[in-house]
Structure 1
Amino acid sequence: MREAFGQSFDVGDGYLNTASVGVPPRQAADAVSAALQEWRTGVGRATDFDGVVTRARAAFAELVGVSADRVAVGGSVSPLVGLVAAATPAGSRVAVAEGEFASVSFPFAVQQRGITVTEVPLERLPEADADVIAVSVVQSLDGRLVDLDALRARRDTTVLLDVTQAAGWLPLSLDWADAVVGACYKWLFAPRGAAWMAVRPDLELVPHAANWYAAEDAWGSTSGLPPVLAATARGLDASPAWYCHVGAAESLGWLAELDREKVREHCVGLADRFRAGLGLEQAGSAIVHVTVPDAAARLAEAGVAATTRGGGARLSFALYSTEEDVDRALGALSG
């Protein structure tokens, strides 16, 4: 067991794989277990989950710097991005980063309708000649950060940001972006199956997956027509995966109350210490990609959990990571 930022974690030594799957605090895991026990014994009721969905929505809003009425609930990132892609006018030019995560780029690439999607080097993306720019704030492959200030200066372009590899360790204030999407199961430490999208009120989207949960009166709209959807971003909601939101309400609620600059300093400080041990420059990111020969195999042999990516290994440093984890990884890759 480890203690970090006021929470306990049952995470093993050498776990540097949060960019794939985050390990929940005990409080969140216990809440999910209790909800599952109620399901198992027939005690739980569907209406019991309204509160946790609301709490998780509000916490995500706080973490990305918007009001909760701008946040829609989904199950994963790509369907939420798909709403923006489907609303992109025919003939539009879309720019994405080279090697961008597929959930960001694919929904635009399959639109056809004369929409062109161009891959641009990340450092040049804010200057791209495009009607839409879609990009992860932190690149999944190697942890590079996009220049948010430069993107914010764009006045004639729709900007969609994916914070899946950023929210939870990087302080964010993204109320200026047209759409901000994020999944729950990395640095937000919730069970996979919940995602959110913050949208600007003037971004016109069609709720292609319209359902009873998105209605103004959800429990009074389970049958019959016409659909009267919520006037806020809740009108874009997908019906939530209940038990995922139980964990999300606990984890995100806790994260939203932390000093996010101290969280960033902890995660990035460990990543930069690891970089320094390998003779790499500091990068200001909690994700490190290394191409040391046989890196993935050497890390695994040393008991370090990492991910094979891009011909090397990806390591990621989280709230519960320690200097001992860094030393173990360096020992595996040194010499």
Structure 2
Amino acid sequence: MTAVAESFSQLWDPQPGWLNTASYGLPPKPGWEALQTVLSDWRVGATSWEPWDESTTRSRESFARLIGSDSADVFVGSTVSAAIAPIAAALPDGAKVLVDEVEFTSNVYPWMVHGDRGVEVIAAATDKLVEAIRPGIDLVAVSAVQSSTGTVLDLAAVVAASKEIGALLVVDASQAAGWLPLDVSGVDALIAHTYKWLMAPRGATLGYLSPRLQERCRPLEAGWYAGENVHTSYYGTQMDLARDARRFDQSPAWFSFVGAAPALELIEQIGVDVINRHNLDLANEFRAGLGMPPGDSAIVSADIPGAEEAFAAAGVRAAVRGGRLRASFHIYSTIADVNLALNALKNI
């Protein structure tokens, strides 16, 4: 653990053996305490909702800084699939969408449901994805880090290949934002749910839409919160939507964003580069203990029959995805967690 990571370690108190951030992240104390405060206020009606909603603005601005975007191009929502829906609806009939063959379905089904109007989803193997970006593909939909395998996307190569043929590029960053440095240059949409590596409550999704994509999409889920002035958009038939990406906002789940804002700001304070180094150091210690070469991902996927049962017996919490063990390491993970996991596996 780096000295910087060590200085923040007291902000979490995980039970030993939590190696499952790819399923959900653990809240830092600032996020947890902020959430307890507003829940107490809610219980007795101590305040109106406006102070809670300040966290939505803070989350939007923090996310924009983390991905190198202007906050005017960031929208808020609830889930990745709901955020993708307006983009999918804007595709012309007969459009072809390229996905990774192991892509998480929140970035597959929103395209497939348009099959009745000829939208075709084409799958390529992870290691063949870039070469599959060829004329005829209208949109590439892919994760920055694959959920099941932990494979890190060569984003620069995908951006270049998509640009060469004029295809739109939509990136699901749910398994990347918070530990992997990200930049939206050349990307048309980048969407992340915050309950994994961004360590927020489930229900807060943030996304970037490029100006050119904003112009192509209709804000299908527009409601009062998408208004230019939310406080004058409560009633009636006069619609004045926000001029920027806010017109794609879904009305936020307040308490989810109350927990999200301090967590995102803490990630900024620690630094994604520091978190990245910490996570990869631990992941590679684990890989070395399994006799695997070093990798570039905070997610380790390995074919180890009996690992799930061995982990359960030792109190290690990880996951099985695609029939393979999946262990994931984040800023609150320690070398003790690595050793606990390796010791659990040593007899199998």
Q: TM-score range by the shorter chain?
A: over 0.9
Give 1:210's aligned residue. Answer: 222
Query: Aligned equivalents of 2:290 and 2:65: distance in 1?
Result: 36
Flag structure 2 segments of 5+ consecutive residues without an equivalent.
none
Aligned residue pairs, count: 334
User: Which of residues 245, 259, 262 is equivalent to 1:250?
Assistant: 262
Give 1:270's aligned residue. Answer: 282
Query: Aligned equivalents of 2:51 and 2:199: distance in 1?
Result: 22
Residues 38 and 52, structure 2, Cα contact 8 Å, conserved in 1: no
Bigger proportion of residues as helix: 2
* Aligned partner letter, 1:127: E
Give 1:157's aligned residue. Answer: 167
Give 2:341's aligned residue. Answer: 329
Residues 19 and 186, structure 1, Cα contact 8 Å, conserved in 2: yes
Give 2:186's aligned residue. Answer: 176
Query: Aligned equivalents of 2:274 and 2:51: distance in 1?
Result: 34
State the shift of 1:323 in Å: 0.5
Give 2:126's aligned residue. Answer: 122
Query: Aligned equivalents of 2:321 and 2:17: distance in 1?
Result: 18
State the shift of 1:259 in Å: 2.4
Residues 63 and 206, structure 2, Cα contact 8 Å, conserved in 1: yes
Residues 64 and 175, structure 1, Cα contact 8 Å, conserved in 2: no
* TM-score for both structures, normalised by structure 1: 0.97
Task: Describe the superposition over 1:178-237 as per-residue Cα deviations: whole angstroms up to 9, x where unpaired.
Answer: 000000101101100010110100112111111000000101110111211000000100
State the shift of 1:3 in Å: 6.1
Query: Aligned equivalents of 1:233 and 1:246: distance in 2?
Result: 21
Residues 226 and 246, structure 2, Cα contact 8 Å, conserved in 1: yes
Query: Aligned equivalents of 1:230 and 1:33: distance in 2?
Result: 32
Query: Aligned equivalents of 2:141 and 2:202: distance in 1?
Result: 23
Query: Aligned equivalents of 2:271 and 2:292: distance in 1?
Result: 28
Give 1:286's aligned residue. Answer: 298
Does residue 143 of structure 1 match 2:150?
A: yes
State the shift of 1:294 in Å: 1.0
Flag structure 1 segments of 5+ consecutive residues without an equivalent.
none
State the shift of 1:40 in Å: 0.3
Secondary structure of the structure 1 residue equivalent to 2:108: helix
State the shift of 1:7 in Å: 5.1
User: Which of residues 319, 328, 332 is equivalent to 1:320?
Assistant: 332
* Aligned partner letter, 1:178: D
Query: Aligned equivalents of 2:36 and 2:249: distance in 1?
Result: 25
* Aligned partner letter, 1:144: T
Residues 139 and 168, structure 2, Cα contact 8 Å, conserved in 1: yes
Give 1:133's aligned residue. Answer: 140
* TM-score for both structures, normalised by structure 2: 0.93
Does residue 76 of structure 1 match 2:86?
A: no
Query: Aligned equivalents of 2:114 and 2:6: distance in 1?
Result: 46
Residues 83 and 208, structure 1, Cα contact 8 Å, conserved in 2: yes
Secondary structure of the structure 2 residue equivalent to 1:202: helix
State the shift of 1:272 in Å: 0.9
Query: Aligned equivalents of 2:22 and 2:310: distance in 1?
Result: 19
* Aligned partner letter, 2:193: A
Secondary structure of the structure 1 residue equivalent to 2:38: helix
